[in-house]
Amino acid sequence: MHLLVCGGAGYVGSHVARVLDARGHRVTVLDNLSTGHAEAVRWGRLVEADILDVDSLEAAFHGQRFDAVLHFCARSLVGESVSAPYDYYENNVVGTLNLLRVMRRHAVDRIVFSSTAAVFGNPVAALIDEDHPKAPINPYGASKLMVERMLADAAHAYGLRSVCLRYFNAAGASAEDGIGESHKPETHLIPNLLRALINPAAPLKVFGQDYPTPDGTCVRDYVHVLDLADAHVRALDHMDGAPGAHAFNLGNGTGFSVMQVIRAAERVTGLPVPFEPAPRRAGDPPVLVAASQRARDILGWSPVYTGIEDVLRTAWDWHRAPAF
């Protein structure tokens, strides 16, 4: 298939492009490079365009025949979404609507959407499955949930086929392929703690020590980025025989607190992680752990990287010699 990977110069998008190419698909990457990296586009052609600029989207589709779109373009910082909600609704909701309209004009009727565990808000169950109540507590999660609703409505009105993949915490890297996690600013735990190991003068900030968890720090479910990429390929295959809108949660089903991740990183690297306490961040729920049985049963998906130390090891390999 010829696939358009929107946001394919970013962290998850570049890993998905790598896996798509390895499995024989033709890849075109669309990215405005505001947060992505041209150096990460190693599989397929890069088209610089912006989902908020309809003319640039039309130009990207003109003269091309895409079989499906994989959509990763989003603002994704929880704290920033709280302080700048208009920016999040504009980019994540309006931008996606622009993309969907252009897809319809060009008769592209399949999309895999990068969603998030933030659509659920504070959990009311130990493991979060797809039927868990959706009550986002920050504009980032709310914007992603709005897109999920748009895709469901488009399935009914226009016959659009879609799969929403709700990541819990994407982590790890494919250092041997020269791609990994590099954000500015960086808000994710694992790259920040690895940066603190490389530069001990800038210790890791541990946001919140008084959550209702065993050690007082947030608990998250970490899923390797290459496992996420595999789920995207399976989602494309799933749409062949499954019209309508579908959603799957993607995680390992095991939660690790911030302090547990720190101790695991120390075991992997043999180095002490310098860290200091900091206040809670707005919009952070105490615990987010996935129940991914539906993805296992329907997509045939199963994570290869099941241990936090395995995930950390691949991230450490990247951060010791980042390509960008």
For the annotated catalytic residues, the residue numbers are 140
Counting beta carbons within 10 angstroms of the beta carbon of residue 275, is it exposed (0 to 12), middle (13 to 18) or buried (19 or more)?
middle
Beta-carbon contacts of 194 under 8 Å, excluding residues fewer than 6 positions away, are 265, 269, 312, 315, 316, 319
Give dist(CA 234, CA 94) in Å, integer. Answer: 27
CA proximity to 259, closest of 313, 220, 305: 220
CA proximity to 114, closest of 252, 229, 209, 272: 229
Vertex 192 angle, CA 187 and 198, to 5°: 155
What is the Cβ-side half-sphere exposure of residue 18, based on CA atoms within 13 angstroms? 24
Beta-carbon contacts of 317 under 8 Å, excluding residues fewer than 6 positions away, are 173, 175, 176
